[in-house]
A and B are shown apart, each in its own frame.
Chain A
Amino acid sequence: MIETALIIETVVKAVVVLSVVAAMAGFATFIERKVLAFMQRRLGPMHVGPYGLLQLAADGIKLFTKEDIIPQNAIKPIFIIAPVIGAASAFVAVAAVPYFPEFTVFGYTIHPIISDINVGLLFIMGAASVGMYGPLLAGLSSANKWSLLGGARAVIQLLSFEVVSGLSILAPIMMIGSLSLIDMNDYQIGGVANWLIWKQPLAFVLFAIAGFAETNRTPFDLVEFEAEIVSGYATEYSGMRWGLFFIGEYANMITISVMVSIIFLGGYNDMWFIPGAIAMLLKVSLWIFLFLWVRAAWPHIRPDQLMWLCWKVLMPLSLINVLITGIVLV
Chain B
Amino acid sequence: MQKVNRLQPFFENLAFEREDDTMIINFGPQHPSSHGQLRLILELDGELVTKAVPDIGYLHRGMEKMAENMIYNEFLPTTDRMDYIAATSNNYGFAHAVEKLLDLEIPRRAQTIRMMLLELNRIISHLFWLATHALDVGAMTIFLYAFREREYAMDLMEDYCGARLTHSAVRIGGVPLDLPQNWITKLSKFIDKLPSDIADYEGLLDQNRIWKMRLEGVGVITPEMAQSWGCSGPSLRGSGIAWDIRKEEPYELYDEVDFDVPVSTTCDSYGRYKLHMEEMRQSIRIIRQVIAMYYETEPEIMAHAPQYISAPKEQIMTQNYSLMQHFVLVTQGMRPPVGEVYVATESPKGELGFYINSQGGAYPYRLKLRAPSFWHTSLLQELLPGHYLADVVTIIGNLNIVFGEIDR
A interface list, Cβ under 8 A from B: 36, 39-42, 72-73, 145-146, 148-149, 152, 218-219, 221-222, 225-230, 295-305
State how many angstroms separate the Cβ of A267 from the closest Cβ of chain B.
32
Residues of A within 8 A of B5 (CB): 72
B23 in the interface (beta carbon within 8 A): yes
Tell which of A146, A297, A300 has the most Cβ of chain B within 10 Å: A300
A301 to B148, CA, bound (A): 26
Whether the Cβ atoms of B33 and A228 lie closer than 8 Å is yes
A222 to B23, CA, bound (A): 19
State how many angstroms separate the Cβ of A292 from the closest Cβ of chain B.
11
Whether the Cβ atoms of A303 and B47 lie closer than 8 Å is yes
Question: Whose C-beta in chain B lies nearest to the C-beta of A302?
Answer: B390
Residues of B within 8 A of A36 (CB): 140
How would residues 136 to 179 of chain B score, 1 for a CB under 8 Å from any chain A CB and 0 otherwise?
Answer: 11111100110010000000000000000000000000000000
Contact (A228, B139) CB under 8 Å given A300-B210, A303-B47:
no
**3 A-B pairs with the lowest CB-CB distances in the bound complex, closest first:** A300-B138, A299-B138, A299-B139
Residues of A within 8 A of B134 (CB): 299
Contact (A218, B141) CB under 8 Å given A227-B393, A228-B389, A305-B213:
no
B18 in the interface (beta carbon within 8 A): no
Q: Tell me if A's interface is mostly helix, strand, loop or mixed.
A: helix
Question: Whose C-beta in chain A lies nearest to the C-beta of B23?
Answer: A145
Whether the Cβ atoms of A227 and B32 lie closer than 8 Å is yes
State how many angstroms separate the Cβ of B311 from the closest Cβ of chain A.
48
State how many angstroms separate the Cβ of A219 from the closest Cβ of chain B.
6
Whether the Cβ atoms of B144 and A227 lie closer than 8 Å is no
Q: Within the complex, which residue of B7, B26, B208 is in contact with A299, where a contact is CB–CB below 8 Å?
A: B208
Residues of B within 8 A of A300 (CB): 137-138, 210, 214, 390
Instruction: List 30 interface pairs A-B (beta carbons < 8 Å), by A numbering.
Output: A40-B141, A41-B145, A41-B148, A72-B5, A72-B7, A73-B6, A148-B23, A152-B46, A218-B138, A221-B138, A226-B32, A226-B33, A227-B32, A227-B33, A228-B390, A228-B393, A296-B140, A298-B138, A298-B208, A299-B208, A299-B214, A300-B137, A300-B138, A300-B390, A302-B213, A302-B388, A303-B47, A304-B47, A304-B388, A305-B213
A33 to B25, CA, bound (A): 33
B interface list, Cβ under 8 A from A: 5-7, 16, 23, 25-26, 31-33, 46-47, 134-141, 144-145, 148, 204, 208, 210-211, 213-214, 388-393
State how many angstroms separate the Cβ of B391 from the closest Cβ of chain A.
7
Question: Whose C-beta in chain A lies nearest to the C-beta of B213?
Answer: A305
Whether the Cβ atoms of A297 and B391 lie closer than 8 Å is no
A221 to B390, CA, bound (A): 12
A72 to B8, CA, bound (A): 11
A12 to B78, CA, bound (A): 68
Q: Within the complex, which residue of B136, B139, B389 is in contact with A298, where a contact is CB–CB below 8 Å?
A: B139
Residues of A within 8 A of B47 (CB): 149, 152, 303-304
Whether the Cβ atoms of A73 and B7 lie closer than 8 Å is yes
Question: Whose C-beta in chain A lies nearest to the C-beta of B137?
Answer: A299
Q: A40-B140, A302-B391, A304-B388 are in contact. List 4 more A-B contacts (CB 8 A).
A: A146-B25, A299-B134, A300-B390, A302-B213
A75 to B335, CA, bound (A): 66
Whether the Cβ atoms of B211 and A299 lie closer than 8 Å is yes
A149 to B33, CA, bound (A): 16
A298 to B205, CA, bound (A): 9
Residues of B within 8 A of A40 (CB): 140-141, 144-145
State how many angstroms separate the Cβ of A291 from the closest Cβ of chain B.
14
Residues of B within 8 A of A226 (CB): 32-33
Whether the Cβ atoms of B138 and A227 lie closer than 8 Å is yes
A302 to B395, CA, bound (A): 13
Residues of A within 8 A of B148 (CB): 41
Question: Whose C-beta in chain B lies nearest to the C-beta of A297?
Answer: B141
A230 to B30, CA, bound (A): 10
Question: Whose C-beta in chain B lies nearest to the C-beta of A222?
Answer: B390
Tell which of B138, B145, B208, B214 has the most Cβ of chain A within 10 Å: B138
Question: Whose C-beta in chain B lies nearest to the C-beta of A298?
Answer: B210
A297 to B46, CA, bound (A): 29
Residues of B within 8 A of A296 (CB): 140-141
Residues of A within 8 A of B214 (CB): 299-302, 305
Contact (A149, B389) CB under 8 Å given A41-B148, A42-B144, A299-B137:
yes
A149 to B388, CA, bound (A): 12
A146 to B135, CA, bound (A): 19
Residues of B within 8 A of A305 (CB): 213-214
Question: Whose C-beta in chain B lies nearest to the C-beta of A221?
Answer: B138
Residues of B within 8 A of A218 (CB): 138
Whether the Cβ atoms of A219 and B393 lie closer than 8 Å is no
State how many angstroms separate the Cβ of B43 from the closest Cβ of chain A.
12
Residues of B within 8 A of A42 (CB): 144
A297 to B138, CA, bound (A): 9
A78 to B44, CA, bound (A): 26
Q: Within the complex, which residue of A39, A146, A219, A228 is in contact with B210, where a contact is CB–CB below 8 Å?
A: A219
Question: Whose C-beta in chain A lies nearest to the C-beta of B212?
Answer: A299
A285 to B207, CA, bound (A): 29
Question: Whose C-beta in chain A lies nearest to the C-beta of B31?
Answer: A230
Contact (A295, B140) CB under 8 Å given A145-B25, A149-B47:
yes
A223 to B135, CA, bound (A): 16
Tell which of B46, B134, B392 has the most Cβ of chain A within 10 Å: B46
State how many angstroms separate the Cβ of A315 from the closest Cβ of chain B.
19
A53 to B132, CA, bound (A): 30
Question: Whose C-beta in chain A lies nearest to the C-beta of B389?
Answer: A228
Whether the Cβ atoms of A41 and B33 lie closer than 8 Å is no
Whether the Cβ atoms of B25 and A225 lie closer than 8 Å is no
State how many angstroms separate the Cβ of A40 from the closest Cβ of chain B.
4
Question: Whose C-beta in chain A lies nearest to the C-beta of B215?
Answer: A299
A227 to B389, CA, bound (A): 11
Residues of B within 8 A of A73 (CB): 6-7
A36 to B144, CA, bound (A): 11
Q: Within the complex, which residue of B23, B139, B389 is in contact with A229, where a contact is CB–CB below 8 Å?
A: B389
Contact (A303, B388) CB under 8 Å given A72-B6, A221-B138:
yes
